[in-house]
Structure 1
Amino acid sequence: MTRGFVTIATGAERYFDIARNLLWSYRQFASEKYPFTIICDRENEYTAEFDDVILLKEAHGNYLDKLQLYKYLPYDETIFIDSDSLAYGDLDEWWDIFKDAADFSLFGYAWTDLKSGRGWFVPDGTGEFKDRISFIPDFNGGTYYMRRSERCRKVFDLANYFAENFSQYSFNGFTTPADEPCLALAMAVEQCMPLDIKEKGLVFAPEKKDIELDICKPLAFYHGKNCEEGYLVNLIHWSNYRTKLALYKFEVRKLTALRERKTEGIIYSLFYKYKIKYYMLTILNINAYMVRAVNKIRRSIRNF
């Protein structure tokens, strides 16, 4: 029985850079250090640091690459992690969490009230699959657990079918195909339940006010919106946009210092413990905000 982790990077060099950051964070805190594979469209200095490299036969640079994961599974049990993530704990603990999970699973929630309007699809809009729906998965697609099996293959076959025929079914929050709604419907049809686990799981794109972070400890404590809840997580899924902002860059600078054993002394204290480096990096946020605003305006004009 082989086990390991996998991520995907295609296109611009920055995607390979953040994938390597994920790898570094995993190895920094992993107890067993399972092999870590990168699936990509080319080899370079970043991919050289991974245990294995798998080249995509046809890279799309979007959700379609994730829907091809089953074809490229390198291990009997594989945990996929989006490259725009950082580990804040021992991810090897996840093997115990997923040991009794379905052949395809993830961190999320299953809505059993089919009239709730929650989750990634509308049961009444699932056509010929309606009678096979007993729950609606709700999750962030930052991580996927996959066991090499016929059932897992069926989940991916269905997800690709839904992506190709997206307009024939009813999805919540998505007007165009994406991996999350397509996999959610496929999970429901194949009765693959998500795991409702917060502690040691992941948080998606946290606001600075909602989370206490220090990758050097490591610490990632999510306070929750309006401090309604609180729990420790082992992974932060930043989202592509937030990897361009100061908070992510600051955490990566600290990770580098940790790897180089430079977390002691006056320089580290000034720049990192007292967050001087973070405040300096916030200047770069201005450019990221402006680029995002321009892109939104362009999309609005195209859709007008």
Structure 2
Amino acid sequence: MDRSLNIITLATGKKLYVYMAVNLLRSARLWNKDNNINFYLATDLPQQLPVDVLAYTHIINLQPGELGRGFSPKLHLNKIVPEGKTLFIDSDCLVYGDLLTVFEQFKGHPVAVLGKHVTDGEWFGDIAAVCRQFSIPHLPKFNGGIYYLEKGPQAAQVYATARSLEEKYDEIGFVRLRGRPNDEVLMALAMQLHKQQPIEDDGSIMAEFVNFKSGIKSDIFKGTVELYNNPGHPDYQKNWPLTIAKPVIVHFLGHYNQILPYTAEVKKLKYVCEDRYGRPQAAVLSYLKVTLPASVSNLIKDIFRPVYRMVIGTRAVKPSERIIE
């Protein structure tokens, strides 16, 4: 067994990210405590961490803004990861199983992501135009919820190139995300320039709700999760080839980390990891305190929403805590 396997996540700027990072680390530890995987958290808010997480997590202390703002810290991963093979996982993810199989699939790639090559279309800019500008045949398109690195000169070159490209972000023609440069397109271009290949996304490693909007079944204690992209569903994504995913990692991006099942699953983790309840008690308490009230509230909203909108109108959308200032 490889003894230099690492999981790392970032939580900088806001308590929200620390809260999610704690949930991620708890879920990863739940399923991988006997796998000789080292856990790392890079943060500028270490005082916000609970005792149970501190017991097994190596803390990389950062100063506010040390690695940049917004999505820029992801472009510095090669400088903060330890020696060996490292899987970066976004803080708004949960882990549902053994990660050794994930490391095995990425093994041998200095830098890797889950995705596919694209030659045209829009992805934070005109893909074809970017390819022409840099005389490359395609770009790897992916979700930046995970990155894989094998620390060494090749990874360092890829990340150095990505950081240099960030300085020319607007000039290249990339479109900003929440007012900031998007790490995904910068890493995609840097990876292609250094001939780093994506790993095919078959739904077994990570899944996220951009592609699976038809529903989810989740049980963090059983290590089972399924995401659906059902033909005939109003939100069916016809351009996505998969209709079901059974991943090890789920990326609860956007508002999905504020609703079921995320809210219920992280409450289970807190009850077990911090409050020291057994799993059966934790599952029952989570259902009674989170799942049941949320389900009843959602049902009432669905029933009365048409009347509310007819009388009051639509409510203004609340600004997301994740909007970058």
Q: TM-score range with shorter-chain normalisation?
A: 0.7 to 0.9
1:56 matched to 2:62? The reply is yes
Q: Give me the whole-angstrom Cα distance separating, in 1, the residues matched to 2:215 and 2:283.
A: 25
| 1:203 corresponding residue in structure 2 | 207
Q: Is the 8 A contact 1:38 1:50 kept in 2?
A: no
What amino acid is the match of 1:23?
Answer: L
The sequence identity of aligned pairs, in percent, is 25
Report the TM-score when normalising by structure 2. Answer: 0.76
Which residue of structure 1 lines up, in the alignment, with residue 15 of structure 2?
13
Match of residue 23, structure 1, among 22, 25, 38: 25
Q: Secondary structure at the match of 1:203?
A: strand
Partner Cα separation in structure 2 for residue 218 and residue 43 of structure 1: 29
Structure 1: distance between partners of 2:44 and 2:315: 26
**C-alpha deviation, 1:129, in angstroms:** 2.4
For these two proteins, the number of residue pairs brought into alignment is 285
Structure 1, residues 146-182: CA drift from partner, whole Å, max 9, x if none?
A: 1112221121111112211012213478585110111
Q: State the AA in 2 paired with 1:108.
A: G
Q: In the superposition, relative to structure 1, how do residues 52 and 276 fare at CA in structure 2: closer, same or farther (>3 Å)?
A: closer
Which residue is equivalent to 2:311?
Answer: none
Does residue 150 in structure 1 map to residue 153 in structure 2? yes
2:291 is aligned to 278
Deviation at 1:24, TM superposition (A): 0.6
**Residues 258 and 41 of structure 1: CA distance in aligned 2, closer, same or farther (over 3 Å):** closer
Which deviates the most, 135-144 or 223-232?
A: 223-232
Q: What does the per-residue CA deviation read over 1:254-279, in whole Å, with 9 as the maximum and x for residues that have no partner?
A: 233454453336x844853xx77313
| Cα 1:232/1:294, change in 2 over 3 Å | closer
| Partner Cα distance (2:31, 2:22) in 1 | 15
Q: 1:62 to 1:292 in 2, by over 3 A?
A: farther
Alignment of 1:232-247 (within 5 A): 232-247=246-261
More deviation in 191-200 or 135-144? 191-200
* 2:76 equivalent to 1:74: no
Contact 2:226 2:246 in 1 (8 A): yes
| Structure 2 unaligned regions, length at least 5 | 237-241, 302-313
Residue in 2 that maps onto 1:87: 95
Compare 142-151 and 202-211 and name the one that shifted more: 202-211
Work out the CA distance in 2 between the residues paired with 1:118 and 1:45. 39
Structure 1: gaps (5+ residues): 300-304
Higher helix share: 1
Q: Structure 1 residues 197, 127: CA separation in 2 closer, same or farther (over 3 Å shift)?
A: closer
Q: Within 2, Cα distance between the matches of 1:77 and 1:180?
A: 20
* Structure 1 residues 271-302: Cα deviation after superposition (integer angstroms, max 9, x where no partner): 53xx7731313659x9xxx9981328xx9xxx
Query: Among residues 245, 257, 280, which one is paired with 1:264 in the alignment?
Result: 280
Q: Distance in 1 between matches of 2:216 and 2:94?
A: 14
2:289 and 2:262 map into 1 onto residues whose CA distance is 15
Contact 1:126 1:170 in 2 (8 A): no
Q: Which residue of 1 aligns with 2:141?
A: 138
Q: Is the 8 A contact 2:264 2:286 kept in 1?
A: no
* Counterpart contact for 1:202–1:233, Cα < 8 Å: yes
In structure 2, distance between residues paired with 1:155 and 1:127: 20
Q: What is the alpha-carbon distance in structure 2 between the residues aligned to residue 50 and residue 243 of structure 1?
A: 24
Match of 1:302 in 2: none
Q: Match of 1:41?
A: 44
Residue by residue over 1:179-223, the C-alpha shift from the partner in whole angstroms, topping out at 9 and shown as x without a partner, is 011111111111111100324311123767422211121111122
Q: Is 2:173 the counterpart of 1:170?
A: yes
Residue of structure 1 equivalent to 2:104: 96
Q: 1:181 to 1:263 in 2, by over 3 A?
A: same
Per-residue deviation at 1:127?
6.3
CA change 1:172–1:138 in 2 (3 A) is farther
> For 1:172 and 1:45, how far apart are their aligned partners in 2?
34
Aligned partners of 2:22, 2:221: CA distance in 1, in Å? 17
Distance 1:106 1:126 in 2: 19
- Name the SS of the counterpart of 1:117 in structure 2: coil
Which range moved further: 26-35 or 49-58?
49-58
Give the AA of the match of 1:10: T
User: Alignment partner for residue 130 of structure 2, among 125, 128, 138?
Assistant: 125
Q: Report how far residue 97 of structure 1 moved.
A: 0.8
Secondary structure, counterpart of 2:117 in structure 1: strand
RMSD: 3.1
Map of 2:305 onto structure 1: none
TM-score w.r.t. length of structure 1: 0.81
Which stretch of the first structure deviates more once superposed, 28-37 or 255-264?
Answer: 255-264
